[in-house]
Amino acid sequence: MSYTKYTNCHLIDNGEIYPNTDLWVDNASKTICAPPGSGSVRVVDLKGQYLAPGFIDIQNNGIYGLNFSNLNADSSDEDIRAFYQFYQDAMTKYVATGVTATCPTVTSNFPEVYEKVLPFYKKSRATDHTDSLGAHIEGPFINIQKKGCHPVETFVDAKDGEAQLNRIYGGEKNLIDNVCILTAAPEIPGVLDLIPLVKKKNITFSLGHTMAEYDTGLKAIENGASMITHLYNAMPQPHHRDAGVVGLINSPAAGSKTPYFGLICDGVHVDPSMASMAYKSNPDKCVLVTDAMHLIGLPDGTYKWDSQYIVKEGFKLYLKGTDTLAGAATTLPACVRNLMKWTNASLAQAVKTVTNNAAVSVGLQKEKGFLNEGCDADFVVLNGEGYVQSVYKLNNPIKSSDLSLQPNHSTKLMAVL
């Protein structure tokens, strides 16, 4: 038997720091284990830095030029093979940011798109790239009044129940095998009745792109919804006499069923003061997400996206000629640092939102997101400011790209239309 011992480090888990604590990994299973009684040992000296679980991003639309929705009815076998290679390459680059697992997010689309792309996002376990936890399918059961940049021609209702669910997403097997989260608006006809069916398939149901009032949102929670997608965005803003869906994050009526909520801490989608308010309302249910578009990691400029153009300025993305936001381009470690700055959260508390909270929100806490025995050996090594110094993917060391992706460190290049 052989083992790896991470030593001379401070562990971050459960929102706390465990100073000068060693961590052991079974090299065969590539999982965290108890200190062994015997066997060969490889020692990794982390020189007083912080060791945390690998970061988890449960909402990400694309990376390094790859749009996770970018196949369609006309895609040839050659197109599909090229997409697969692009996907593998992009996920290999993405792990260097510190994100060791993600939910590739497919925005509102036609059935033939889901049929082709979802199988790529089947749950994975790799040593050299970011794992998929299963897709996050965002739409097309959403409200046209909160469409964002989703194409309205794809929107549908759920009046036909499970038959409609299976028709849209390419069949029950495609859902069960390849999907982790489903975002829908509970006020769309038929959606409330779909929630228990989705939950039985071991898929997390999340409320989003919705005009739902508080009572409708509460009914969705009672039916099994357990998350809110990118809080504040694509939903009515809270009023002191009409809290709306936002009010669910610390609702007395929801009790123990209070939902987890995604929060985009990029300083663009949500004002820092409002992000602070949400986090402090319920820090144990806050999950930082990037909502990244495929332009993350690319130079600033104007890019064609289907029939539209997206302008990238640093971490900001918007549809050309409008003020409509088109996803984000901020990395998850940058979001963690923003949360620390805006809320005075400690490094350990901020890291909890992208590790422990993220894992529990999708029911994977026995596999990912914790430094418990049996969890995968996916780690980030951090300095005291929250910058990723290195990454370990199933115990395999990977050089960090965190610092190089910050706007003030990136090289300005001309984007090609």
- Is 136 among the annotated ligand-binding positions? no
At 144, list the tokens.
Answer: 């046209």
CA–CA distance, 188 with 165 (Å, rounded to integer): 13
Q: Would you say 258 and 247 are in contact if contact means Cβ atoms under 8 Å apart? A: no
Taking the whole predicted model, whether its pTM rises above 0.85 is answered as yes
Q: Over 80: is that where the pLDDT of 327 sits?
A: no
Catalytic residue among 291, 376, 378, 402: 291
Mean predicted confidence (pLDDT) in 350-371: 98
Mean predicted confidence (pLDDT) in 224-235: 97
From the CB of residue 50, how many other CB atoms can be counted at a distance below 10 Å?
A: 22
Per-residue model confidence (pLDDT) at position 414: 25
Q: Would you say 151 and 108 are in contact if contact means Cβ atoms under 8 Å apart? A: yes
User: 53 pLDDT band (50/70/90 cuts)?
Assistant: very high
Q: Over 60: is that where the pLDDT of 417 sits?
A: no
Give the range among 106-110, 178-182, 317-321, 406-410 with minimum mean pLDDT.
406-410
Per-residue pLDDT reduced to its tens digit, 197-225 = 999 999 999 999 999 999 999 999 999 99
CA–CA distance, 75 with 260 (Å, rounded to integer): 36
From the CB of residue 82, how many other CB atoms can be counted at a distance below 10 Å?
A: 12
From the CB of residue 401, how many other CB atoms can be counted at a distance below 10 Å?
A: 18
- Is 234 among the annotated ligand-binding positions? yes
Give the range among 35-39, 101-105, 407-411 with minimum mean pLDDT.
407-411
Per-residue model confidence (pLDDT) at position 23: 98
If one compares 254 and 142, the residue with the highest pLDDT of the two is: 142
Per-residue model confidence (pLDDT) at position 329: 85
Query: Please, what sign has the CA dihedral across residues 272, 59, 359, 403?
Result: negative
Q: Would you say 329 and 292 are in contact if contact means Cβ atoms under 8 Å apart? A: yes
Q: Looking at the DSSP assignment, which residues form a beta bridge with residue 42? A: 4
Q: Over 50: is that where the pLDDT of 378 sits?
A: yes
Per-residue model confidence (pLDDT) at position 158: 97
| SS3 at position 112 | helix
| SS3 at position 11 | strand
CA–CA distance, 86 with 81 (Å, rounded to integer): 9
Amino acid identity, position 115: E
Q: Would you say 281 and 258 are in contact if contact means Cβ atoms under 8 Å apart? A: no
CA–CA distance, 260 with 207 (Å, rounded to integer): 10
Q: Over 80: is that where the pLDDT of 328 sits?
A: no
Q: Over 70: is that where the pLDDT of 86 sits?
A: yes
Per-residue model confidence (pLDDT) at position 408: 55
Q: State percent of the chain over pLDDT 70.
A: 97
Q: Over 90: is that where the pLDDT of 277 sits?
A: yes
- Is 395 among the annotated ligand-binding positions? no
Q: How many CA atoms lie within 13 A of 282 on its CB side?
A: 24
Q: Looking at the DSSP assignment, which residues form a beta bridge with residue 50? A: 10, 382
- Is 327 among the annotated ligand-binding positions? yes
Instruction: Identify the residue whose tokens are 């599909």.
Output: 80
Length of the chain: 417
Q: Would you say 238 and 244 are in contact if contact means Cβ atoms under 8 Å apart? A: yes
- Is 96 among the annotated ligand-binding positions? no
Q: All domains of the chain, ordered by start, with CATH?
A: 2-52+376-407 (2.30.40.10), 55-361 (3.20.20.140)
User: 119 pLDDT band (50/70/90 cuts)?
Assistant: very high
Q: Would you say 378 and 393 are in contact if contact means Cβ atoms under 8 Å apart? A: yes
- Is 265 among the annotated ligand-binding positions? no
Rounded to 10 deg, the angle between the 332-343 and 272-281 helix axes is 80
Active site residue 291: yes
Per-residue model confidence (pLDDT) at position 410: 38
Amino acid identity, position 265: C
DSSP for 275-335 reads HHHHHHH-GGGEEEE--B-TTTTSPSEEEEETTEEEEEETTEEEETTS--EEEE---HHHH
Per-residue model confidence (pLDDT) at position 324: 80
If one compares 82 and 310, the residue with the highest pLDDT of the two is: 82
- Is 209 among the annotated ligand-binding positions? yes
Three-point CA angle 366, 177, 376, nearest 5°? 25
Q: Over 70: is that where the pLDDT of 308 sits?
A: yes
